[in-house]
Homo-oligomer: A and B are copies of this chain.
């Protein structure tokens, strides 16, 4: 569980952390029920104030990705969304549309776009199965 912060990226540190935890969870590096690094120790590793890490964890909790227990720690939630299939797809549309619009401006045609999506889905699935092998 190694996170890396780019202080010259322009992007807020806490949001970089949020993205990396989400990414780690989606690629199987972090699994349901597993503990995240303690706020203070992670802050020390990253040379960042503990409230910056706390803010990231807070955001992740409000997104339903992790659960924080005062005195115990922070743990990856077993993602059981409270949403119906329809609602979940509606929540996804915004991000899919952004990618579709960008594809249009980059003149990436439909077939190439679908090919890329397929490739990225494969990429994450391979990562998940690889980390399952490592951990068992």
Q: What is the 8 Å Cβ interface bit string for chain A, positions 20-64, against chain B (1 contact, 0 not)?
A: 001101100000000000000000000000000000000000011
Please provide the chain A residues from 83 to 101 with a CB less than 8 Å away from any CB of chain B in the complex: 83, 85, 88-89, 91-93, 95-101
Interface residues of A (CB under 8 A from B): 22-23, 25-26, 63-65, 79-81, 83, 85, 88-89, 91-93, 95-108, 110, 112-114, 116-118, 120-121, 124-125
Cβ distance A108 to chain B, nearest Cβ, rounded Å: 5
Contact of A100 with B116 in the complex, beta carbons under 8 Å: no
Interface of A is mostly: helix
Cβ distance A115 to chain B, nearest Cβ, rounded Å: 9
Contact of A106 with B93 in the complex, beta carbons under 8 Å: no
